[in-house]
Structure 1
Amino acid sequence: MAHINILDPGASPLDYYGYELRRHREAAGLTQRQLGDVINYTGSLVGQIETARKLPTEVFSERVDAALGTGGLLSRLVGLVLRSQLPAWFQQVAELEARATEIATFQTHMVHGLLQTDAYARAVLGAMDRRKLDDRTTVRLARQRILEKEQPPVLWVILGETALRQEIGGPEAMWGQLARLLSFEDAPLVNVQVLPFSAGAHAGLQGSFNHYRFASDPAIVYTEGYGTGHPTANPDTVKDCSLRYDHLQAAALSIKDSAALIRRTMEEHYGESQLSSDGRPLA
């Protein structure tokens, strides 16, 4: 008889997910292979997720919920599972993102994680360490679920022009990333502005930062270093960064002009043939 690894559901969100997956599968009278056949995954993958050796994805969870009639249990759990896999120092930030009613971010040289594509995120995360890159990419992209909530936060993004021109992941990855930025051009809750090189000296020269606002809690400012994060609710710091953000928005291009600059950058650097006659990315 094959050895069955029995998980402790209280050990971690990932263990709890695997425990519930196995419990519902066995209640349905299915083997791992049979469930895999139903949801178009391998039985081996089902087994790896049941034993907490592989991270589940949102699509996997949705398919299992449908196949086993779990009432959406695994789809509700997967967000918690993926958030628990973030670096310990970043988990608090993911919680801030999930609770915020408004997020304002200034990024000097890189697209913010909430707007990254798979290829771009993979290139960023794999720059120094390619271990478990699939799982780490899945975890990063899972943060973007907050933009699909019934009441998503308002997201303001100011990108330094460097973020458009620093070729991360190659031309194809950059084209896809800039196309994603353009996809929000008419989305009132996601606003993208570019701070052009021509702005010269500006209020964000000290570096990138995020500003989180909440329905009833004090605002929080977050800055980041190498492998460390620094959230603070200090009123003086929050006030200073709020003022800096106002100045950055004033110096940045309008949303419309920012989109035009993104299109020009795509044409000039990453593939003119992939734009339609009106300058919009082709599907």
Structure 2
Amino acid sequence: MARPKELDPRASLAAALGSQVRRLREGHGWTQQDLADRLYVSATRVAQIELATDPPNEALTQDLDRVLEAADELNVAWFHMNRLNHPSWLRPYVDLERSACRMRKYAVQLVPGILQTAEYAAALFSVGQPGITDDALKRLVEARTSRQSLLTGPDPMHLWAVIDETILMRPFGDDDSIMRDQLNHMLMAAAKPHVELQILPLEAGHHGMMDGPVTLLEFPDRPSIAYLAGTAGGEVVESAHTVKKYATMYDRLMVDSLSPEESRDLIRSTLKERYGCPPPPPSNDP
């Protein structure tokens, strides 16, 4: 029998995660095929994880943690590995986002990251970073879409998003299916009881947040913060006075926007008129 390839767990966080998976697997007395059978993946996929050539996504990591009885050890390792896939300037905000109980977000140019499909995110990163490698693109997309886990589970974060109408009107990507799937995804998210989505119509005119996207985060155990995103960085604002100012402007946007029901109707009509397809069926999520 061939000797397993040695892997330095200090080489990277992906290598550290792979080493943990191998150690736990061997502790159970399982081969890679034994573990693969329990995960409904191939033995090659298990080898890729253990050798850090293709790290697992969040869902697969959760399955690994459960099957290997890792007591959240693998989930924690995945979190730290995934955190590094975000730009360094974004990481402080991402850490805050994970502990928030409520998010209010205004999006002016792009669908909010927490609501983006993988294809939409890939198109965005490909344009914004010419020459990006496939591996780097995959890591960025996984980091972006993994944030949607905040909207699932027994105690999901409450999201209220106000989205500028121009986002619905602007073609995105090289294929109509990218924007069609993105709009469908937004409709399905908006059907959840803890997600509210409003469209700010063009007729609303000018307002206090036209300079760029703004996010307001509320926490169960600390004061609220505002996050101001830009093309090359972002700023976390903790001043109570400034946060209150942005909260007041956000309240104004909510008043000027279409109601959640009208907003969903506008997305449905956009899907039908611009993309010639019916909207998704109503969600049965509780």
- TM-score, normalised relative to structure 1: 0.87
Q: Tell me the residue number matched to 1:90.
A: 90
* 1:171/1:269 contact within 8 Å kept: no
Q: Find out whether 1:163 has 2:175 as its counterpart.
A: no
Deviation of 1:18 after TM superposition, in Å, equals 1.8
Q: Tell me the residue number matched to 1:248.
A: 253
54-63 vs 144-153, which moves further: 54-63
Q: Find out whether 1:202 has 2:204 as its counterpart.
A: no
> Deviation above 4 Å: which 4+ runs of structure 1?
none
CA distance change for structure 1 residues 186 and 32 in 2, over 3 Å: closer, same or farther? closer
| Match for residue 6 of structure 1 among 5, 8, 12 | 8
Taking every aligned residue pair, what percent have the same amino acid on both sides? Answer: 30
What amino acid is the match of 1:257?
E
Q: Secondary structure at the match of 1:111?
A: coil
Q: Tell me the residue number matched to 1:211.
A: 216
Deviation of 1:146 after TM superposition, in Å, equals 1.0
| Inter-partner Cα distance in structure 1 for 2:249 and 2:279 | 35
| Inter-partner Cα distance in structure 2 for 1:67 and 1:235 | 45
Q: Find out whether 1:74 has 2:56 as its counterpart.
A: no
- TM-score, normalised relative to structure 2: 0.86
- Show CA shifts across 1:192-219 (max 9, x none): 0000111111222121111111122121
Structure 2 stretches lacking a partner, 5+ long: none
What amino acid is the match of 2:254?
Q
CA distance change for structure 1 residues 239 and 68 in 2, over 3 Å: closer, same or farther? closer
122-131 vs 34-43, which moves further: 34-43
* 1:109/1:161 contact within 8 Å kept: no
* 2:8/2:15 contact within 8 Å kept: no
CA distance change for structure 1 residues 151 and 86 in 2, over 3 Å: closer, same or farther? same
| Inter-partner Cα distance in structure 1 for 2:126 and 2:270 | 24
221-230 vs 56-65, which moves further: 56-65
What is the RMSD computed on CA atoms of the aligned residues?
Answer: 2.5
Structure 1 stretches lacking a partner, 5+ long: none
Deviation of 1:260 after TM superposition, in Å, equals 1.0
| Inter-partner Cα distance in structure 2 for 1:62 and 1:212 | 26
| Inter-partner Cα distance in structure 1 for 2:63 and 2:196 | 33
Deviation of 1:48 after TM superposition, in Å, equals 3.3
- Show CA shifts across 1:10-60 (max 9, x none): x76534322210101222334445544553444444333223343311332
Q: Find out whether 1:258 has 2:280 as its counterpart.
A: no
What amino acid is the match of 2:52?
A
